[in-house]
């Protein structure tokens, strides 16, 4: 029986971050993982999907570049080669992470599934591991909706979609969130006939409705079919095809595809942990934690998807670092989520930081909202990147920027300027005092800021170029 200063259950992004921080305090850490080693982001999430998206992006650019005077003839797709490249890249990430663990003398890696025996010990196979502190970072598992006939008919999830080397002729995608839209667009650009089925009234239903409506329009322009307000009734096999029976806005439809991709979200992976023995409370969404990432058991913390707060890698790392710090420091850190950036790598990209209009209304805040389209921005026009727009929310009294939403090109890079501005609680007036390079895509933020400023009591007028 071995005892450690910290026992971390789960070696993904959040768990590794907690372990790394704890070793910085000179602590001895047991890092337990049931495998395969690497965590969701590296193995089945962020990194493999973005690797594939780059290939489909290039294929799309080659197929549409004639409008810019560059015609590409004889374009061929080597899809097994695309998957092989992805596998090689992912192996590099896994090897790098393993070397970080292996080379740290304060981390003992233990492979196996952990189960609590008490608040101070877990069992891994025949081993009993004791710890002064614990961090639960077991990630999430796929959620499969209870649609009649789905399991009997068969389907693939994002796990299989990222691995298969053959392309179906047609694909029905169940879901309207990040994974469904990213992979749906990827396969469409690879030549697959793709149809999206979302049960809510818009894509990206957690965002303001205008975002999902606009994105659906762009996906349809690329040849994808998008259905919202879907009520699934049954899924069945019809020869070599799979049949989706549903109602869309109350109207019955029957859709057939060669394959079905289920991308309806994930849920906290807490099964078999025996959290009751540790005195750790949890809900269907995840482990209950406070701002210090501490659970209902004072010596046990949690981080990442296991908490159900934000299923995002950068949030998992953030929470893991806080958990590793608070486990041993007398000066406590508290998690705050006002400035969590969210990005979906569709084309156009969706990126946001801060509140939605819906959230502002729910909080009873009076805000001024302004938007500006990319098709009226000089740099976007020059480069042919005119899809989408930027929307900004500001406090109706002070002009403080409360939220920025971007549907357009280079969103993953552009949004961070607004993240910094909001970190320092900048107002639209202060934003307009910053000189923006011209021509640049980042200039677009000045236009909704200017409109909001005009509506406030202290208007600012930009000088003409």
Q: Residue 86 annotated as binding?
A: no
73 part of the active site: no
Q: Residue 265 annotated as binding?
A: yes
Q: Residue 198 annotated as binding?
A: yes
CATH 3.30.540.10 fits 2-141+267-326, yes or no: no
Q: Residue 140 annotated as binding?
A: yes
The mean of the pLDDT values for the chain is 96
Q: In angstroms, rounded to a whole number, what is the distance separating the alpha carbons of residues 465 and 451?
A: 17
Q: In angstroms, rounded to a whole number, what is the distance separating the alpha carbons of residues 182 and 185?
A: 5
- For the chain, the structural domain boundaries read 2-141+267-326, 150-264, 342-455
**Residue percentage of the chain with pLDDT more than 70:** 98
What is the CATH number assigned to the segment(s) 342-455?
3.30.390.30
Q: In angstroms, rounded to a whole number, what is the distance separating the alpha carbons of residues 124 and 133?
A: 17
Query: b/e map of 102-118 (b: 16 or more CB within 10 Å)?
Result: eeeebbbbbebbbbbee
Q: Residue 327 annotated as binding?
A: no
- What are 23-47's pLDDT values in tens digits? 999 999 999 999 999 999 999 999 9
Map tokens 């047609």 to a residue: 170
User: Average pLDDT of 451-455?
Assistant: 96
Q: Which CATH fold topology does 150-264 show?
A: FAD/NAD(P)-binding domain (3.50.50)
Cα–Cα–Cα angle for 143, 145, 150, rounded to 5 degrees: 120
User: Average pLDDT of 254-263?
Assistant: 97
Q: How many CB atoms within 10 Å of residue 71?
A: 9
- What are 97-118's pLDDT values in tens digits? 999 999 999 999 999 999 999 9
Q: Residue 451 annotated as binding?
A: no
C-alpha closest to that of 276 among 119, 76, 110: 119
Q: How many CB atoms within 10 Å of residue 26?
A: 9
* DSSP class of 258: S
Q: In angstroms, rounded to a whole number, what is the distance separating the alpha carbons of residues 437 and 421?
A: 17
| Helical (H) or strand (E) element with 420 | helix 411-423
- What are 114-141's pLDDT values in tens digits? 999 999 999 999 999 999 999 999 999 9
pLDDT at 331 over 60: yes
Which pLDDT does position 117 carry in this prediction? 97
C-alpha closest to that of 162 among 48, 12, 266: 48
Fold equal for 2-141+267-326 and 342-455: no
Sequence-distant (≥ 6) Cβ neighbours of residue 400 within 8 angstroms: 394, 425, 426, 427
Give helix 13-24 / helix 79-102 axis angle, nearest 10°.
20
pLDDT at 458 over 90: no
Q: Residue 103 annotated as binding?
A: no
Which pLDDT does position 1 carry in this prediction? 77
Sequence-distant (≥ 6) Cβ neighbours of residue 73 within 8 angstroms: none
pLDDT at 463 over 80: no
Q: In angstroms, rounded to a whole number, what is the distance separating the alpha carbons of residues 176 and 17?
A: 30
pLDDT at 461 over 90: no
Query: b/e map of 419-454 (b: 16 or more CB within 10 Å)?
Result: bebbeeebbbbebbeeeeeeeebbbbbbbbbbbbbe
- What are 174-223's pLDDT values in tens digits? 999 999 999 999 999 999 999 999 999 999 999 999 999 999 999 999 99
pLDDT at 57 over 60: yes
From 325, 438, 458, 461, the catalytic residue = 438
Q: Residue 453 annotated as binding?
A: no
Q: How far is CA 67 from the centre of its chain?
A: 32
Residue 465: pLDDT band with limits 50, 70, 90 = very low
- Whole-prediction pTM value? 0.94
Q: Residue 258 annotated as binding?
A: no
Q: Residue 180 annotated as binding?
A: yes
Residues in the chain: 465
In this structure, are residues 318 and 324 in contact, taking their beta carbons and an 8 Å threshold?
Answer: no
Q: Residue 175 annotated as binding?
A: yes
* DSSP class of 173: E
- What are 374-405's pLDDT values in tens digits? 999 999 999 999 999 999 999 999 999 999 99
């Amino acid at each position: 029986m071995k005892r450690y200063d910290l026992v971390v259950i789960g070696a993904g992004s959040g768990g590794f971050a907690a372990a790394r921080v704890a070793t910085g305090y000179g602590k001895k850490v047991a890092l337990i993982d049931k495998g395969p080693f690497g965590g969701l982001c590296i193995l089945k999430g962020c990194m493999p999907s973005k690797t594939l998206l780059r290939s489909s992006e290039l294929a799309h650019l080659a197929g549409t570049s004639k409008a810019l005077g560059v015609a590409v003839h004889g374009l061929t797709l080597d899809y097994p080669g695309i998957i092989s490249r992805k596998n090689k890249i992912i192996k590099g990430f896994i090897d790098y992470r393993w070397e970080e663990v292996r080379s740290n003398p304060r981390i003992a890696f233990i492979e196996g599934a952990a189960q609590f025996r008490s608040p101070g010990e877990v069992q891994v196979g025949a081993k009993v591991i004791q710890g002064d502190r614990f961090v639960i970072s077991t990630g999430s598992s796929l959620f499969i909706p209870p649609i009649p006939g789905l399991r009997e008919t068969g389907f693939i999830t994002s796990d299989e979609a990222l691995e298969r080397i053959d392309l179906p002729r047609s694909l029905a995608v169940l879901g309207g969130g990040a994974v469904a839209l990213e992979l749906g667009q990827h396969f469409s650009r690879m030549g697959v006939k793709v149809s999206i089925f979302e049960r809510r009234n818009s894509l990206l239903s957690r965002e303001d409705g205008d975002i999902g409506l606009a994105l659906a329009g762009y996906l349809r322009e690329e040849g994808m079919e998008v259905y919202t307000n879907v009520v699934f009734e049954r899924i069945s096999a019809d020869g070599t095809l799979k049949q989706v029976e549903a109602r869309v806005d109350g109207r019955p439809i029957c859709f057939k595809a060669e394959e079905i991709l289920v991308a309806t979200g994930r849920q906290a992976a807490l099964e078999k942990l025996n959290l009751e023995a540790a005195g750790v409370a949890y809900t269907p969404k995840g482990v209950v934690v406070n701002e210090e990432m501490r659970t209902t058991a004072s010596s046990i913390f949690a981080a990442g998807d296991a908490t159900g707060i934000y299923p995002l890698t950068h949030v998992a790392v953030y929470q893991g670092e806080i958990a590793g710090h608070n486990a041993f420091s007398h000066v406590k850190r508290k998690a705050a989520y006002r400035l969590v950036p969210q990005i979906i790598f569709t084309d156009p990209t969706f990126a946001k930081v801060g509140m939605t209009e819906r959230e502002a209304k729910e909080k009873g805040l009076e805000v001024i909202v302004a938007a500006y389209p990319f098709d009226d921005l000089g740099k976007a026009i020059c480069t042919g990147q005119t899809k989408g727009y930027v929307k900004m929310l500001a406090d109706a009294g002070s002009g403080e920027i409360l939220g920025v939403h971007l549907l357009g090109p280079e969103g993953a890079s552009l949004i961070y300027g607004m993240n910094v501005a909001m970190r320092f609680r900048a107002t639209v007036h202060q934003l307009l005092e910053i000189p923006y390079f011209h021509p640049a895509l980042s200039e677009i933020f000045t236009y909704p800021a200017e409109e909001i400023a005009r509506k406030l009591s202290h208007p600012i007028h930009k000088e003409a170029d």
